[in-house]
């Protein structure tokens, strides 16, 4: 069984608030770049499935040269190998163009059975790239998956979160799966894994290497801005008794039209 | 810390992520309860960090000393205390360098896997202190075993170890040609001997350090548990100290970084007289000086580690790195406490805990005075002072 996990490099969540709109426009993000936290769940699942079904797990990413570090994180966790697709031909991180490159990279791996990915990235938050990948590959897509129950006879059976509950569904292989955080607890890479990852050779592929032409953008960023910072004000409600404090609080809430 | 590309950035981040599981509140509670941070040590063990220096052939990470030092640095930089487990990294070095093939094959894989803890080394004694050749603990050969009697003090982590190394006299001081002769190193299996001749008596201290006195009363140790040749123990001990000095220097660098980052953040946020206190040069200059001294100490630490990795003589550099880093960390600790003012004494801010912890490195594992004596005599050619 061959399992591909799609990885994106994103700014460290703790540093996201510091990322300026200008940095996003120029593509030069100053924040520490790490593996997209949602993709860690996908990497963990790929490793577990590879162990469970005696398969191979391969990590793929579309990104700048530095995105190799995110792939190395996946290798340090236990993913067998990785490859980077150079994003030099991409403009503005267009979702459809990204999906086209990723789909071509998946095809280049040969007979892939499953593609796993996180539910979204912590920077763009679109949660749609995997939809494009499945569409490009013409493979079924299972989203919000919290458990891979079984893979047998060319069929994958999963449990997925839906509004108000969960459901069990099956799809023929090959398939694309996006995972939710409930699926597992991503492991911390071991020291031996980190050393293996540091020594690993991770090839960089261009669109040309993959035999595809990067599609024209379907979307364009005309303006990027950060939302206004909400100012908060703290008022300590005083009073001689609890009743008095409560009455003043109710008055304040009424005045602000909260209640 | 420099602006040059850091070849260990990935390792730093991974250690940082693991340490983030153990926030300051964890260390506060451990400190308040004088408890051993078992969960933290287990997590470090499970991730293979404490086996970093063990060769791959025995299941370890076969890291460089620099990489191992980065691991310990990041533990302390996270607000933790690497002293609770650092010795698991380097005490096995004596076994690795001087143990028999059978000893190494028997013990090292289990140490690498974290099934056995070897993180205590009994050297210091109440009446010997830094004058190691005057230790009185004796090991007398009797057929296929040695009979050990004596007492050790300041044997850290011994109550949380399965094995310990012990330095003992196998030839009385008055019978040896040189006072450094006649000492031997033994591997003691604490699982079998505690309660059967070995008694551990914890010493309460100003920090949560898990150190103890250890008493040996007619303890039988099989001859096959002697490490290397009889009488060569002092030389083996000296060979192990350079790695220890460099690793502990890295911990001090981690402490210093923690203090300065905390103090800078506080100085930027704390508003007094309508402006951040960090705007005052009285706050800025000590922080800047502490940063400069820490950076300089870090350079010596890396130079010492590089020499060690190239198997070059590095005794002077290892000792200078430890002295400079311990001083820089202590300076940073004082500056941080001054910057925080009264809040620095409040336990919830962690400054006082780390302040106590980093003070240790002025004294242990070697006093800064002894380092200066060594440098004066061996580097500068001044007369021996002790």
Mean pLDDT of B347-375: 95
Please give the average per-residue pLDDT across B193-209, as a whole number. 94
Instruction: Please tell me the predicted confidence (pLDDT) of residue A183.
Output: 98
What is the SS3 assignment for A10? strand
Q: Do B61 and A192 touch (CB under 8 A)?
A: yes
Contact A62/A132 with Cβ under 8 angstroms?
A: no
| Residue appearing with tokens 């792939």 | A71
The torsion angles phi and psi of B25, rounded to 5 degrees, stand at -60, -35
Residue B128 pLDDT: 86
Residue A175 in domain: yes
Average pLDDT (B175-183) is 94
What is the spatial distance between Cα B44 and Cα A126, in angstroms, rounded to a whole number? 36
**Structural domain includes residue A71:** yes
A222, burial (CB in 10 Å: exposed 0-12, middle 13-18, buried 19+): exposed
Residue B259 confidence (pLDDT): 98
Q: Is residue A123 part of a domain?
A: yes
> Residue B73: how many CB atoms within 10 A of its CB?
29
Q: Quick one: average pLDDT of B313-326?
A: 97
Rounded distance between C-alpha atoms, residue B12 and residue B77, angstroms: 10
Q: Is A130 exposed, middle or buried (0-12, 13-18, 19+ CB in 10 A)?
A: buried
Tell me the chain A residues in contact with residue B75 when contact means C-beta distances shorter than 8 Å: none
Contact check, Cβ <8 Å, B47/A76: no
Q: Which residue shows structure tokens 């004494």?
A: B345
Q: Which residue has the higher pLDDT, B360 or A219?
A: B360
Share of chain B above pLDDT 70, in %: 99
CB B208 within 8 A of CB B353: no
pLDDT at residue A151 greater than cutoff 90: yes
Interface test with A, best of B47, B49, B66 (most A CBs within 10 A): B47
Q: Which of A237, A205, A181 is nearest to A105 (CA)?
A: A205
What's the confidence (pLDDT) of residue B85?
Answer: 94
Q: Is the pLDDT of residue B227 over 80?
A: yes
Look over chain B and give the mean of its residue pLDDT values, rounded to a whole number: 96
Q: How far apart are CA A27 and CA A5, in angstroms?
A: 24
- Please state, in angstroms and rounded to a whole number, the distance separating the CA atoms of residues B154 and B318: 22
Tokens 């019978």: give the residue. B175
Closest among B297, B284, B292 to B358, alpha carbons compared: B297
Which chain A residue's Cα is nearest to B63? A195
Q: Distances in Å between the alpha carbon of B236 and those of B95, B136, B247, B321? A: 10, 18, 18, 21
For residue A72, list chain B residues with Cβ-Cβ distance below 8 A: 10
Question: Residue A140 half-sphere exposure, CB side, CA atoms within 13 Å?
Answer: 14
Q: Give the model's confidence band at A115: pLDDT under 50 very low, under 70 low, under 90 confident, else very high.
A: very high
Q: Is the pLDDT reported for residue B149 higher than 90?
A: yes
SS3 B111: helix
pLDDT in tens, A210-257: 999 888 888 888 888 888 878 888 888 888 999 999 999 999 999 888
Are A191 and B52 an interchain contact pair (Cβ–Cβ within 8 Å)? yes
* CB count in 10 Å sphere of residue A151: 20
Nearest CA of chain A to the CA of B215: how many Å? 37
Break chain B into its structural domains and give their ranges: 9-112, 118-231, 235-378
Which of A190, A192, A194 comes nearest B10 by C-beta? A194
- B10–A197: do the CB atoms touch at under 8 Å? yes
State which residues form the domain around A8: 2-205
What mean pLDDT do residues B252-263 have? Answer: 98
Side-chain-side CA neighbours of B204 within 13 Å: the count stands at 3
What is this structure's pTM?
0.89
A190 chain-B contacts, CB cut-off 8 A:
46-48
In a domain, A223, yes or no: no
Q: Is the dihedral of CA B251, B257, B262, B263 positive or negative?
A: positive
| DSSP class per residue in B128-184 | TTT-GGG---EEEEETTEEEEEEEE---TTGGG-SEEEEEEESS-GGG-SSTTSSEE
Joined together, the tokens standing for residue B184 give 């031997």
What architecture is domain B235-378? Up-down Bundle (1.20)
**pLDDT category, A4, cuts 50, 70, 90?**
very high
Task: Give the gap in angstroms from C-alpha A188 to the nearest C-alpha of chain B.
Answer: 7
For B118-134, how does the pLDDT look when each residue is reduced to its tens digit (9 = 90+)? 999 999 999 887 789 99
Considering only the top CATH level, what class is B118-231? mainly beta
State the best of B9, B14, B71 to mutate against chain A, taking most chain A CBs within 10 Å. Answer: B14
For residue B375, what are the contacts with CB-CB under 8 A and spacing of at least 6?
A: B316, B319, B320
The CATH class of B9-112 is mainly alpha
**pLDDT per residue as tens digits for the range B49-63:** 999 999 999 999 999
Least-confidence region, from A107-111, A221-225, B23-27, B320-324? A221-225
Contacts of A27 (CB under 8 A, 6+ apart): A64
Assigned domain for A237 exists: no
Is it the case that residue B1 has pLDDT exceeding 70? no
CA distance B18 to chain A (A): 7
Measured between CA atoms, how close is A121 to chain B, in angstroms? 19
How far is residue A194's CA from residue A217's CA, in Å, rounded to a whole number? 37
**Which residues in chain B touch residue A197, judged by CB atoms under 8 angstroms apart?**
10
Any idea how long chain B is?
A: 386
Average pLDDT of the residues in A24-45? 92
State the pairing for strand pair A175-179/A56-63: unpaired
What is the count of structural domains for chain A?
1
Give B47→chain A minimum CA distance, Å: 4
At A161, which CATH number?
3.40.50.620
Average pLDDT for chain A:
93
Structure tokens that stand for B79 in this block: 């607000």
Contact B75, B248 (CB under 8 A): no
Q: CA separation (Å) from B333 to A30, A48, A136, A152?
A: 30, 45, 58, 60
Interface of B with A (CB under 8 A): 10-11, 13-14, 17-18, 43, 46-49, 51-52, 61-63, 71
Q: Do A191 and B71 touch (CB under 8 A)?
A: yes
Give the Cα separation of A13 and B277 in Å (integer): 29
- In a domain, residue A70? The reply is yes
């Amino acid at each position: 069984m061959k399992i591909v996990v799609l990885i994106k490099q994103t700014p460290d969540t703790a540093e996201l608030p510091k990322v300026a709109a200008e940095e996003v426009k120029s593509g030069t993000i100053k924040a520490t770049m790490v593996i997209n936290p949602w993709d860690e769940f996908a990497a963990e699942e790929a490793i577990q499935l590879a162990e469970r079904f005696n398969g191979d797990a391969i990590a793929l990413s579309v990104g700048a040269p530095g995105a190799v570090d995110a792939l190395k994180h996946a290798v340090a966790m236990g993913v067998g190998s990785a490859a980077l697709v150079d994003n030099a031909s991409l403009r503005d991180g267009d979702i459809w163009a990204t999906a086209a490159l990723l789909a071509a990279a998946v095809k280049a791996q040969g007979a892939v059975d499953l593609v796993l990915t996180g539910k979204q990235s912590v920077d763009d938050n679109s949660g749609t790239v995997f939809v494009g990948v499945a569409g490009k590959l013409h493979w079924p897509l299972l989203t919000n998956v919290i458990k891979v129950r079984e893979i047998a006879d060319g069929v994958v059976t999963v449990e997925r979160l839906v509004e108000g509950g969960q459901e069990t569904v099956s799809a023929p292989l090959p398939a694309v799966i996006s995972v939710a955080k409930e699926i597992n607890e991503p492991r911390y890479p071991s020291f031996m894994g980190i050393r293996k990852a540091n020594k690993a050779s991770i090839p960089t592929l261009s669109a040309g290497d993959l035999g595809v032409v990067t599609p024209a953008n379907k979307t364009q960023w005309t303006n990027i801005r950060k939302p206004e910072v909400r100012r908060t004000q703290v008022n300590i409600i005083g009073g001689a008794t609890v009743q008095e404090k409560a009455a003043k609080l109710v008055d304040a809430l009424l005045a602000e039209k909260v209640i | 810390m420099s602006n040059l590309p850091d070849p260990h950035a990935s390792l730093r981040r991974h250690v940082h992520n693991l340490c983030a599981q153990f926030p300051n509140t964890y260390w506060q509670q451990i400190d308040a309860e004088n408890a051993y941070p078992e969960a933290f040590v287990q997590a470090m063990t499970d991730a293979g960090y404490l086996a970093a220096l063990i060769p791959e052939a025995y299941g370890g990470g076969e890291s460089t000393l620099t990489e191992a030092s980065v691991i310990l640095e990041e533990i302390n930089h996270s607000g933790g205390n690497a002293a609770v487990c650092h010795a698991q990294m380097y005490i096995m070095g004596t076994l690795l360098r001087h143990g028999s093939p059978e000893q190494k094959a028997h013990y090292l894989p289990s140490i690498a896997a974290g099934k056995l803890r070897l993180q205590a080394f009994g050297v210091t004694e109440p009446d010997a202190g830094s004058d190691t050749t005057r230790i009185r603990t004796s090991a007398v050969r009797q057929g296929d075993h040695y009979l050990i009697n004596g007492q050790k003090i300041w044997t850290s982590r011994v109550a949380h170890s399965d094995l310990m190394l012990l330095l003992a006299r196998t030839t009385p001081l008055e019978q040896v040609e040189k006072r450094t002769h006649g000492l031997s190193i033994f591997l003691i299996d604490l699982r079998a001997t505690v309660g059967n001749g070995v008694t551990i008596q914890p010493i309460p201290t100003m920090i949560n350090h898990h150190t103890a006195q250890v008493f040996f009363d007619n303890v039988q140790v099989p001859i096959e548990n002697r490490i290397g040749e009889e009488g060569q123990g002092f030389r083996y001990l000296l060979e192990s100290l350079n790695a220890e000095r460099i690793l502990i220097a890295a911990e001090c660098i981690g402490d210093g970084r923690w203090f300065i980052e905390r103090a800078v953040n506080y100085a930027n946020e704390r508003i007094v007289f309508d402006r951040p206190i960090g705007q005052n040069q009285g706050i800025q200059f000590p922080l800047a000086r502490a940063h400069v001294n820490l950076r300089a100490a870090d350079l010596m630490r890396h130079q010492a580690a590089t020499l060690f990795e190239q198997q070059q003589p590095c005794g002077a550099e290892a000792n200078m790195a430890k002295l400079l880093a311990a001083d820089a960390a202590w300076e940073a600790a004082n500056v941080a406490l001054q910057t925080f003012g009264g809040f620095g004494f409040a336990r919830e801010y962690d400054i006082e805990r780390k302040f106590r912890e980093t003070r240790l490195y002025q004294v242990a594992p070697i006093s800064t005075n002894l380092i200066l004596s060594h440098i004066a005599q061996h580097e500068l050619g001044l007369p021996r002072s002790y």
